[in-house]
Chain A
Amino acid sequence: MNCSHNHNIEDSIIELRAKVDKIVAQIGRESKDIIPLLQALQSEFNYLPYEALEYLYTVTDINRAQLISVSTFYAQFRHAPSGLHLIKVCTGTACHVKGASNVYDAFLRYLEIAEGETTSKDMLFSVEKIACLGCCTLAPVVQIDEKTYGHVMPGKVSEVISDFLSHLKDDSKESCRRTFRPIVGEIRLGMGSCCMASGSEEIYNELQVASDQLGIEINIKAVGCVGVCNKVPLIDIVKSDGSIIRYPNVKAIEIKEILLEHFQPANLFKQWKNKFLWFVDNFHTDQTWDNVAWKSEIERTHVINGFLKRQKHISTEGYGILSPLNIDEYITHGGFDALKCVISGTLREYIVDSILESGIRGRGGGGFPTGRKWKIVSQSISKDKYVICNGDEGDPGAFMDRMLLESYPFRVIEGLIIAAYAVGASKGIFYIRAEYPLAVVRIRTALKLCMERNLLGSNIQNTSFSLHLEVFEGAGAFVCGEETALIASIEGERGFPRQRPPFPALKGLFGKPTLVNNVETLSQIPYILRHGRGEYSRIGTTSSKGTKVFALAGKVNYGGLIEVPMGITLNEIIEDIGGGVEGGRKLKAVQVGGPSGGCIPARLCDIAVDFDAFNRLGAMMGSGGLVVLDETDCMVDVARYFLSFTCEQSCGKCTFCRVGIRRMLDILEKICSGKGDMADLDLLEELAIHVKQSSLCGLGKTAPNPVLTTLKYFREEYVEHINGECKTGTCKEMIKFVIEENCIGCTKCAKACPVDAIEYKPYGLHHIDTTVCVLCGLCVNECYYDAIKKISLKAYANRTK
């Protein structure tokens, strides 16, 4: 026997148990605490080790059955260790239409991960698909640990990995700044997730370094998401006279020049030295020719101005000015005015009536009148009531809630406090999905700041009103966006929706009356109360009031996060704000509302943004993803994509959703592989109608919408597939890649091919071995002569004859 070996094992078990004990002591030992407990265990151990779970049974109320049930329901939890670094490949809608599945395959190939596995042999990397990272405008997007990479094409995979590894080595910490001299101006820089993914952090650091070096004393201010995701990193120079000069798409290398353009360095010597060094630095390069600083004002900003012109900022008020976590600044801009006003003696009924009369409807998807919900909760009699902010935004292709939580945390908090006051709740929860780490951190910090200012906690602003808010991290289940499933998950159960009635407003969290409102809804509340219900209801259409935040993405020139008044048409959004379809191609459809929404064909895109108008078309506002599709997108594939998402996200409780969606997907897969027949189309439609009608919750009731709308507006494409042709060449099983006669033998395609399907033949006509080809399309991108074509199986058969 090896005694020391045994001792080591015993020691490590004792150590592990001590860690578990510590976590349990911090979080709690009741069965309702299971999700936070597992999250803490996972962040401690990287996965849920068997020994830790066995020990957990003995020190908490959690039993084996509950643990299996909960830990396997939420996608966040792992029962086996993952690689040291986690590569998350976003498969959101925008990323999907831009080829995310090829990117995923490329990572697997590059890291030599075997089929069916997700972790590289050296345990350095694990690769996983993730529903949406919320950086749709940078599609395809990949996140490695905390670092996000945008526009990752399959060919760029090796570059991304080596960049990540190189950054690991020089992980520099933010340096502290000291102020000696009077401040001459301010620079504002957007620091939302998208901005960070585009290198804003680098710009931020460079601004600090450069201004120190130059001796320019400026205030560098990280503001929230600027929405113009396609133009980030974007900096605003605010001069001492208050004028603003805007620079989009800046690069770190341009920072010094921009600073020198607008500010005087500290002394003449430094000025001279800097100019000289700058000159020497760039003497032999041409990198400054394309410099933003050289472009005219109009050239720099006309796109942005167009992008912003049609927008109206309510949820995003203070856009580009407010620093997310600066509470004083928020207060100077009228923040918490609404709250202070209402709690200093406004009748609760009056607030509820104001919300009711403003006409605001829930932004989470269904469009239920917010005021009606408030009224029910406020009228129900109970000692304990809860308010919940629903930030479990899970739609692939939507990220407005993330942006609001990250950039305007105080506004959302203010909305929630007002809601709590109006309905008489004393406890509240921010439910934020764990995939949004920045949002979680910002809300936590913001809550702490509010506590310090007595805007939260006991006896708020010396009134009798008390409210305690905490953050609950969602563990990765789309269905938890449904309010009853969300409540179930807070209670430590699987996210199974419950039947309504009883509505949560009467019987919600722990059986108490509970108000669940979406992030965006709450962010509109302070505006309504500050400006009056009349002013708010003047914006929008008869049945849909106020503004709506959309994530505009897909095949549009300028994607981003936009807030528009209800009533604007889809065409106006695409043309005026988005700058038209990418590459001048023809608009085919707009996918509205993600997996619960539908595809609105181009000919109907003069429709106004309105809850009911969307519903009439079979689509849905959903949570507000707008994915623009052009003539190169296959609508059958789009339907299949959304259905595969809902199929994966279905909770599994009721038959129609659990099995029905799977069978619909089976039929669609059959059609997409060219094996379908016309009878399948009828069966698909019949099933879709029944699933829509008879599923228990919103997820199942809306999941067939992408199928039903595409069947309604693009039936001919389904028929084409049945006849063996996918005209856009999207459905992989129906196409082959071939090299045409005009190949000059440059060998670029052979070098690019990751699976060696193309033989290297300098100056000869190249040939693709279609039995090996994985249809990744890298060769197509490489070919300068446009000699590689996607052709249908039929055409391929004729060719080989």
Chain B
Amino acid sequence: MQIALNNQKYLFNEGETIIEVARRAGFFVPSLCYSKHKQHKASCMVCVVRDIHSQQIIPSCTTVCEDGMNIEVESREINEIRRQALELLLSDHRADCEAPCYRVCPGNFDVVRMNRLYDCGHIEEAINHLFDVLVIPATLCFICNAPCERICRKGELGNPVSIRAIKKKLTSFARPDKIKKQQIELGKVIVVKGSDPAALAAADTLIRLGYKVIVVEPFSELLTPYIAESHLIDLALLEIEIAVLKQRGIHFELNCNELPISDALLTTETIKVKQPARMIVEGKRLALELHASLSGHTNEREYHFDSTFGKLSESEKGHLSNTLPTSQKSVESSQCLYCDCDKKMGCTLRDYATIYGVRGRKFSSYSVADALERIHIKGEIYFEPSKCIRCGICVYNSSNGFTFKGRGFEMQVVIPPQNYENIQDEIAGLCPTGAIFVRK
């Protein structure tokens, strides 16, 4: 028995669906609500194809192949429909992929990750994350105007998370003597001119790549104009930060106006941005570009779709201020809401949105579910209804567990507490979004 997919003939077995044959034939067919060998009903409609005979748009996941079928699996129009299905699902997906603080950080620092590590007591990992991304974290974040704290959702409920204070605290815990010296693997010497944040970031990146790095500063102090201009810089912490850099193996030449002999010179004069944290990013970029020209490697930054839902509604505010877990109410914790998604790296919805070029929100985003409401099911399984796309795969594959409530746009997937026990871990793997997840 044969079926034509984009005018190519393929054999199929009795009972096979179009998606099975198409994927076997190497076509990329996205789908959210379907998983092979699992119970499912066509819902998400991102797997749609066109039946050429009837001109109908049909879901490939539930349509059983019939002999002589002629199917359009890929075309501009099919992609348009798939993209629109994704846009519609995302308009009702009241959730952030990345936390707002990360999104606004000019230094691309994942604040929530730091907070999670901090709250779980993984102090060393938190410090590493901080130094890896921000190079001179405590100093940098006090010469930065800290948009992270201004956009922090916690601020809508009262006070924002004291992100900078946490960074300061973590930096003070740093133990430069424990830092391992970087191996000079590439053998080449690079001179970095100046010691502004960009230069320090470039130096840090290059030493990590395995170059020998010399920072040449004409003045007697690193970060010369910045230290003079800011009263907020804690010099004791700066000392720790510099000690970390030195420990990695960077040589600092102060009061030096002569450039030593080197394989390459990196200067930050070309950088136009003034925002200190942005300069970190730019410095890293220059370093990577230099590395690329020296080694022939290329670096392309990938675009990632990022779902965002804006401000909290009144009901969400009420809900969140009542449901902060007690452990988070202690002074020691970061008090972070963890706005980002636990599944941001394994989310099929996000991946498809990226692939099909969904950008921003096309539709109004009124939604039934409250953002950031997280239900603890059992063990490490959580359920976050506002991320649910109502595909029902968890409903059809749990017995007396998840269920639908209501109908139409108001329809929600719910789970009554009495049914928590009936849930197995594998359900989280079936969920195409971060709605059901296992916290690591």
Contacts and interface: CB of A to CB of B under 8 A. Distances in A.
Interface string B72-99: 0000000011001100110110000000
A694 B45 contact: yes
B114 interface: no
A496 interface: yes
B267 interface: no
Top 8 nearest A-B pairs (CB, nearest first) are A652-B411, A65-B403, A650-B408, A659-B88, A662-B409, A63-B400, A663-B363, A694-B57
A15 to B, nearest CB: 25
Nearest to A687: B84
A193 interface: no
Interface in B372-424: 389-390, 392, 395, 398-411, 414, 416, 418-419
B12 to A, nearest CB: 16
Contacts of B42: 499, 653-654, 696
B412 to A, nearest CB: 9
Interface of B: 41-46, 48, 57-59, 62-64, 80-81, 84-85, 88-89, 91-92, 362-364, 366, 389-390, 392, 395, 398-411, 414, 416, 418-419
A127 B144 CA distance: 58
Interface centre among B42, B405, B411 (most CB of A within 10 A): B411
A160 to B, nearest CB: 31
Contacts of B401: 65
B403 A652 contact: no
A64 B416 contact: yes
Interface in A481-540: 494-496, 498-499, 501
Given A654-B45, A694-B45, A696-B59, A659 B409 contact: yes
A658 to B, nearest CB: 6
A655 B44 contact: yes
Contacts of A661: 409
A346 interface: no
B400 A655 contact: no
Contacts of B44: 654-655
A655 B89 CA distance: 7
Interface centre among B63, B89, B92, B403 (most CB of A within 10 A): B403
Contact of B402 (A65, A648, A666): A65
Interface in A642-690: 647-656, 658-663, 666-667, 670, 683, 686-687, 690
Contact of B407 (A650, A654, A659, A694): A650
Interface in A18-46: none
Interface stretch (A66-74, A91-99, A135-143, A461-469): A66-74
A488 to B, nearest CB: 10
Contacts of A652: 390, 404, 406-411
B81 to A, nearest CB: 5
Interface in A350-395: none
B89 A659 contact: yes
15 contacts: A66-B400, A72-B404, A651-B408, A652-B410, A653-B43, A653-B392, A654-B43, A654-B44, A655-B89, A655-B389, A658-B408, A659-B89, A662-B92, A687-B84, A694-B57
Contacts of A694: 45, 48, 57, 81, 85
Given A73-B404, A663-B91, A499 B62 contact: yes
A670 B366 CA distance: 13
B408 A690 contact: no
Contacts of A615: none
Contacts of A72: 404-407
A666 B363 contact: yes
Interface centre among B64, B81, B400, B404 (most CB of A within 10 A): B404
Contact of A647 (B48, B62, B85, B408): B408
Contacts of A660: 88
Contacts of B88: 655-656, 659-660, 663
A659 B390 CA distance: 11
Contacts of B92: 659, 662
B81 A693 contact: yes
Contacts of A653: 41-43, 392
A479 to B, nearest CB: 8
A656 B416 contact: no
A655 B405 contact: no
- Interface extent on A, as a size class? 35 or more
B63 A499 contact: yes
A477 interface: yes
A480 to B, nearest CB: 11
A683 B84 CA distance: 11
Interface centre among B42, B45, B57, B364 (most CB of A within 10 A): B45
B408 A663 contact: no
Nearest to B64: A501
Contacts of A498: 41
Contacts of A649: 408
Nearest to B362: A683
Nearest to B93: A659
Contacts of B390: 652, 658
Nearest to B409: A662
Contacts of B402: 65
B403 A66 contact: yes
A663 B89 CA distance: 11
A64 B419 contact: yes
A658 B409 contact: yes
Contact of B418 (A64, A499, A501, A690): A64
B400 to A, nearest CB: 4
Given A496-B41, A666-B364, A651 B89 contact: no
Given A65-B399, A663-B88, 4 more contacts: A66-B400, A647-B409, A652-B409, A687-B84
A659 B63 CA distance: 22
A499 B405 contact: no
Interface centre among B84, B403, B408, B409 (most CB of A within 10 A): B408
Contacts of B403: 64-66, 68-69
Contacts of A686: 84
B234 to A, nearest CB: 50
B43 A73 contact: no
A15 B141 CA distance: 69
Interface centre among A63, A68, A494, A659 (most CB of B within 10 A): A659
A64 B420 CA distance: 12
Contact of A69 (B41, B405, B418): B405
Contacts of B362: 683
B41 A648 contact: no
A663 B364 contact: yes
Interface centre among A647, A654, A683, A686 (most CB of B within 10 A): A654
A663 B419 CA distance: 33
Given A658-B408, A658-B411, A499 B59 contact: yes
B85 A656 contact: yes
Contact of A64 (B62, B400, B407, B408): B400
Given A64-B419, A65-B419, A73-B404, A650 B409 contact: yes
Contacts of B48: 694
B84 to A, nearest CB: 5
Nearest to A648: B408
A23 to B, nearest CB: 22
Interface string A60-86: 000111101100110000000000000
Contacts of B409: 647, 650, 652, 658-659, 661-662
Contacts of B91: 659, 663
A651 B407 contact: yes
B404 A494 contact: yes
A653 B406 CA distance: 11
A133 to B, nearest CB: 21
A658 B64 CA distance: 24
Contacts of A658: 390, 408-409, 411
B43 A655 contact: yes
Interface string A334-348: 000000000000000
Interface centre among B44, B62, B89, B409 (most CB of A within 10 A): B409
B418 to A, nearest CB: 6
A648 B411 CA distance: 10
